[in-house]
Chain A
Amino acid sequence: MSTPTSSPPAPADDDTTAAERPAQDLRQQVYDSPKEKFIEYVLGACALLSVLTTLGIAAVLVIESIPFFQTVALTEFFGDTQWTPQFSEKHFGIWALLAGTLLVTVISAVVALPVGLASAIFISEYASKWVRKVLKPSLELLAGVPTVVYGYFALTFVTPLLQAIVPGLGVYNALSAGIVVGIMIIPMVASLSEDALQAVPDSLSQAAYALGATKYETVVRVNVPAAFSGIMASFILAVSRAIGETMIVTLAAGATPKATLDPTESIQTMTAFIVQVSKGDTPQGTIVYQSIFAVGLVLFLITLALNIFANRITLHYQEEY
Chain B
Amino acid sequence: MFGEDVVRTYALATTRSNARTVTPRISMEPSANGSFQTHRSRRKRIGILLAGVLFLATIFGVVVLVTLLVDVVASGMPWLDGRFLDSFPSRNPGEAGIKSALFGSLWLMGLTALISVPLGVASAVYLEEYAKDGWFLRLIQINIANLAGVPSVVYGILGLALFVRFAALGQSLLAGALTLSLLILPIIIISTQEALRSIPSGIRENAYALGATRWQVIWSHVLPMAAPGIFTGVILALSRAIGETAPLILIGALTFVPFLPRGALDQFTALPIQIFNWTARPQSEFEGLAAAAIVVLMILLFTMNLTAILLRNYFEERRAGS
Contacts and interface: CB of A to CB of B under 8 A. Distances in A.
Contact of A214 (B47, B61, B301, B309): B47
B272 A279 contact: no
Given A147-B245, A251-B280, A307-B149, A220 B50 contact: yes
B64 interface: yes
5 contacts: A46-B119, A47-B126, A118-B54, A244-B150, A271-B151
B154 A244 contact: yes
Given A47-B131, A57-B154, A135-B62, A212 B249 contact: no
A49 B123 contact: yes
A283 interface: no
Contact of B153 (A123, A140, A149, A274): A274
A304 B249 CA distance: 23
**What secondary structure prevails in chain B residues at the interface with A?**
helix
A114 to B, nearest CB: 7
Interface stretch (A1-9, A12-20, A33-41, A90-98): A33-41
B61 A190 contact: yes
B162 interface: yes
Given A49-B119, A149-B275, A190-B61, A216 B47 contact: yes
Nearest to B278: A152
B196 interface: no
Contacts of A127: 58
Nearest to B236: A144
A51 B140 contact: yes
Interface residues of A, number: 100
A118 B49 CA distance: 13
Given A151-B276, A247-B272, 4 more contacts: A144-B243, A190-B61, A246-B153, A279-B254
Nearest to B185: A50
Interface stretch (A67-75, A76-84, A295-303): A295-303
Given A35-B215, A275-B250, A299-B151, A157 B67 contact: yes
**What are the nearest 3 A-B pairs in CB distance?**
A244-B151, A146-B243, A118-B57
Contacts of A211: 3, 6-7, 10
A221 B145 contact: no
B264 interface: no
Contacts of B127: 47
A265 B142 CA distance: 39
A311 interface: yes
Interface string B196-215: 00000000000000010111
Interface stretch (A102-110, A162-170, A235-243): A235-243
Interface residues of B, number: 100
Contacts of A251: 276, 279-280
Contact of A57 (B58, B150, B244): B150
B290 interface: yes
Given A186-B61, A303-B151, A53 B16 contact: no
A53 B185 contact: yes
A271 B154 CA distance: 9
A11 interface: no
Interface string B45-80: 011001101110110111011011001100100000
A152 B14 contact: no
B279 A304 contact: no
A145 to B, nearest CB: 7
A50 B140 contact: yes
Nearest to A186: B61
Nearest to A35: B215
A61 B35 CA distance: 71
Interface in B94-150: 118-119, 122-123, 125-127, 130-131, 139-140, 142-147, 149-150
A266 interface: no
Contacts of A23: none
A138 B140 contact: no
A196 interface: no
A141 B14 contact: no
Nearest to A270: B153
Interface in B200-242: 211, 213-215, 236, 239-240, 242
Nearest to B67: A157
Contacts of A311: 142, 145-146
B297 interface: yes
A210 B150 CA distance: 45
B213 A50 contact: no
B220 to A, nearest CB: 14
